[in-house]
Amino acid sequence: MAPRVRVGVVGIGRGLWLGERAAAGFELVAVCDTDEAGLRDVGRRLGVATYTEYSRFLEHDMDAVLLANNFHEHAPFAIKALAADKHVMSETAACHTLAEAVALIEAVEASDRVYLFAENYPYMAFNQEMRRRYRAGDIGEFRYGEGEYVHPDPAAVKLARSRGYDHWRNWIPATYYCTHSVGPVMFITGTRPEKVNGFVIPFDANDPTMAHSAKIQDTAATIICRMSGGAVVKSLHGGLRGHGNYVRIHGNRGLMENGRHGDKQRLRIWREPWETPVGESSEIVYRPTFPHYHEEATAAGHGGADFFTLRAFLDAIRTGEPPEIDVYLGVDMSIVGIQAWRSVLADSAPVEVPDLRDRALRVRYADDHWSPDPARSMPGQPPSSVLGRFEPGAEARALADKVWSDA
């Protein structure tokens, strides 16, 4: 039997959740977080080594790290882990600026360790099945797609998840959390966005889920992407009402989409009657199973998708073959949100999404540190909302005080 991969986790929220489930093939040996009290509990409960300092954590004897620290801080953490000879699985987003994108790609290229971008939504059963069918030519060539990740919550739930006015969930612009919506379409069709036009549904002061939270960004974002190969994609994500995730792929011979009502795991395939072979049905609706590991995957999180990111990481480490969602695809999925924010602030003008596989293009972006991160404040940095800079209101502050002190 192959030896287990000794893994350390950074971040005791999502990270620990993943680390504890990484059973087959992995052994959780260390956990790192700056939250000392939380870390003490984790250490007692799991009996693993704990660290508050990332550099000390990287000295731990282990093979790999799962990065689930702050959304906007993954690239520098990944670069340090690769330099310490660890395999890296990085949560979303891969990078927070174009300069980080270049630095991350170059660090992965200089290393012999695995880097996997843990975008999990493409691995949901209906997305894997759409990819299989797309590759089999069932709907012809890709022409138009939609990816949606809509996730509203009451203000108190938002506040409990994002403690502190400077928590990333309170200020990342609405376009940035785009990998769950645009990622599946890219994965299914093998295309990448070349240009984006970004739009936002502005911060809604009449929506208590926004007005009573600590958010200073917009309610939701739509990104229109012009893809390699000429297709157009609409990505929608954010806190609108209507919780769900949805993917729709139009080819020039048919359509595939997952369910929008009832069992949303179902897949619908539509071919026009005149193009449907005799004896077959124009419309097929079914609930696909996973192509492999169906039982293990069904028990995992996010509709089974988390099983596949962990499994892909293990396979890449064991075989030495790069994972499918590698650094290039991870960066592509992530920088869509950054470039779309530039577009939003330029009245939705088109903005290039550079293909940083091209070394010549990297030169142009290697010093691009454009970011709304309050900790990177300097002249020329953008606001978090299309409405400009503002502070949470009195009701939001009162609720935040209550939720954060209860927690």
Interface with ligand NAD (CB under 6 A), residue total 18
In whole angstroms, give the CA distance from residue 404 to residue 12: 18
- The reply to whether 76 sits near ligand NAD by the rule CB under 6 A is no
CB closest to ligand NAD, residue no: 13
DSSP structural state of residue 197: E
Q: How far is the CB of 68 from ligand NAD (least distance, A)?
A: 4
CB of 73 to ligand NAD, least distance (A): 6
- Contact between 91 and ligand NAD by CB under 6 A: the answer reads yes
The residue within the footprint of ligand NAD, chosen from 13, 190, 259, 322 (CB under 6 A), is 13
Q: x/- site string to ligand NAD, residues 99 to 138, per CB under 6 A? A: ---------------------x------------------
In the complex, what is the shortest distance from the CB of residue 162 to ligand NAD, in angstroms, rounded to a whole number? 7
Strand ranges for 179-230 from DSSP E: 193-201, 220-227
Closest CB to ligand NAD among 58 and 114?
58
> Judged by CB under 6 A, which stretch of 30-38, 195-203, 285-293, 388-396 contacts ligand NAD?
30-38
State whether the Cα torsion 367-372-377-381 is positive or negative: positive
Nearer to ligand NAD, 27 or 35 (CB): 35
- The stretch near ligand NAD (CB under 6 A) out of 63-71, 138-146, 214-222, 281-289 is 63-71
Specify the stretch interacting with ligand NAD by CB under 6 A; choose among 11-19, 203-211, 254-262, 378-386.
11-19
Q: Choose the stretch contacting ligand NAD; rule: CB under 6 A; options: 68-76, 145-153, 265-273, 277-285.
A: 68-76
CA atoms within 13 A on the CB side of 282: 5
Q: Extract long-range pairs of 205-210: CB within 8 Å, 24+ residues apart.
A: 205/393, 208/154, 208/155, 209/152, 209/153, 209/154, 209/155, 209/158, 209/239, 210/155, 210/239
Is residue 217 part of the contact set for ligand NAD (CB under 6 A)? no
- Binders in 260-319 for ligand NAD, by CB under 6 A: 302
The Cα–Cα gap between 39 and 31 comes to: 8
Q: Which residue from 7, 31, 65, 69 is in contact with ligand NAD, where contact means CB under 6 A?
A: 69
Counted residue by residue, the chain has a size of 407
Stretch near ligand NAD under the rule CB under 6 A, chosen from 7-15, 222-230, 243-251, 369-377: 7-15
What token pair was written down for 188? Answer: 């299914």
Identify whether 93 is preceded by a cis peptide bond (ω within 30 of 0).
yes
Q: For residues 69 and 209, which CB has a smaller minimum distance to ligand NAD in the complex? A: 69
Verify binding: residue 219, ligand NAD, rule CB under 6 A.
Answer: no
Chain centroid to Cα 31, Å, comes to 22
369 binds ligand NAD (CB under 6 A): no
- Please tell me whether residue 71 binds ligand NAD under the rule CB under 6 A: yes
Q: How far is CA 252 from the centre of its chain?
A: 29
Structure tokens at 185: 């379409």
Residue 164 amino acid letter: G
Strands 244-251 and 254-258: antiparallel
Question: Is residue 70 involved in binding ligand NAD (CB under 6 A)?
Answer: yes
Nearer to ligand NAD, 32 or 236 (CB): 32
Per CB under 6 A, the list member of 14, 131, 237, 311 interacting with ligand NAD is: 14
34 binds ligand NAD (CB under 6 A): yes
β-bridge mates for residue 249, sequence order: 145, 256
Q: Which residue number, 140 or 374, has a Cβ lying nearer to ligand NAD?
A: 374
Contacts 24+ apart (CB under 8 A), 220-224: 220/150, 220/174, 221/173, 221/174, 221/175, 221/178, 221/337, 221/340, 221/344, 222/198, 223/175, 223/178, 223/182, 223/196, 223/197, 223/198, 223/199, 223/336, 223/337, 223/340, 224/196, 224/197, 224/198, 224/199
Q: Which residues bind ligand NAD (CB under 6 A)?
A: 10-14, 32-35, 54, 68-71, 91-92, 120, 302
